[in-house]
Amino acid sequence: MGILISVFLPLALAFIMFSLGLSLTVDDFKRVLVRPFAFLIGAINQMLLLPLVAFVLAVSFSLPPELAVGLMILSFCPGGVTSNIMAKLAKGDVALSVSLTAVISLASIITVPILVAWAVQRFMGADAPPVTITGLAVSMFLITTLPVVIGLTVRHFASEFANRTMPVLTKMATVLFVVIVVAALASNWSVFIDNLPVLGPALISLNILLLAIGFVVPRLLGLSSAEVKTIMVETGVQNSTVGITLGAIVGAQAAGFSAYALPAAVYGITMYVVSLPIIMALRNR
């Protein structure tokens, strides 16, 4: 299990982020300047409202400290390839979805370490493990930002190669995601079972509230139907693999996946169960 966490998990996340970068172009970043209002609303939903809702739920459901930290870590994570796929499935604005994923994924190297360090101190208190912002930032850069930049560079200079390999890489990334989720659950099975009555409702409530906020806010602000559906997806669908990996890094002293990784692992399942029926219902609206 130690090799799985210290070697396979970071490499798997780096591969998943590389596949994300391979799907991006420079225009995805330029588009933010062309359509700043829709992007701003999506970014505020994901980077401010999402952690706020997670904090309220962590306190309201009285989650154990490690699970509360794990829930907060999940809320700090950017979206991923999954959110882009779901935006397409919802007949949303896929270009906006990709732009949000691209920019927020790169910005996470700055935002996530600071917020994770705060969450650990807030919920763990004297029992908080040693967490350094610089150490987390370096880890985030090596396993998330750098692979995205490499994928983006490959796409820019070898677009035909990127187009040929993307379908295969996407399938491989999906398999790796499933393996990581199963391993995290298996390593914390007793903790998962003991806390399921409170953790399950908390995560499902989180997903429902995020989808509702992601739908209502842009709708009230007059965005188009496609933009509304996209921001809804981007608000409610998180990159659970990043959450699991960060949980493993924070709980590095544990023999297996620490409980910090558990909320992200469970959310990696529940977000499909909750989100897909809503997305399909809104698909043709």
> How does pLDDT run across 7-27, given as a tens digit for each residue?
677 788 888 888 888 877 888
* Structural domain total, the chain: 1
DSSP three-state, residue 68: helix
| Cα Rg of the chain, angstroms | 18
Longest dimension (CA), the chain: 53
**190 vs 213, higher pLDDT:** 213
Q: For residues 186 and 162, what is the distance between their CA atoms, to the nearest angstrom?
A: 35
**DSSP state letter for 45:** I
The answer to whether the CB of 251 falls within 8 A of the CB of 258 is: yes
Q: For residues 32 and 39, what is the distance between their CA atoms, to the nearest angstrom?
A: 6
DSSP three-state, residue 62: coil
Least confident range from 23-37, 44-58, 181-195, 263-277: namely 181-195
**pLDDT at residue 254 tops 60:** no
Q: Alpha-carbon torsion 44, 239, 134, 55, what sign?
A: positive
Residue among 45, 32, 36, 87 at smallest CA distance from 216: 45
pLDDT, position 212? 94
User: What is this structure's pTM?
Assistant: 0.86
pLDDT, position 145? 85
Average pLDDT value over all residues in the chain: 85
Angle between helices 240-250 and 9-22 (to 10 degrees): 150
The first and second tokens of residue 257, run together, are 């996946």
114-158 pLDDT tens trace: 999 999 999 988 887 888 888 888 888 888 888 888 988 998 888
**Residue 178 maps to which CATH number?**
1.20.1530.20
The first and second tokens of residue 50, run together, are 């999402």
Cβ neighbours of 26 (radius 10 Å) = 11
The answer to whether the CB of 11 falls within 8 A of the CB of 169 is: no
Domain containing residue 150: 2-282
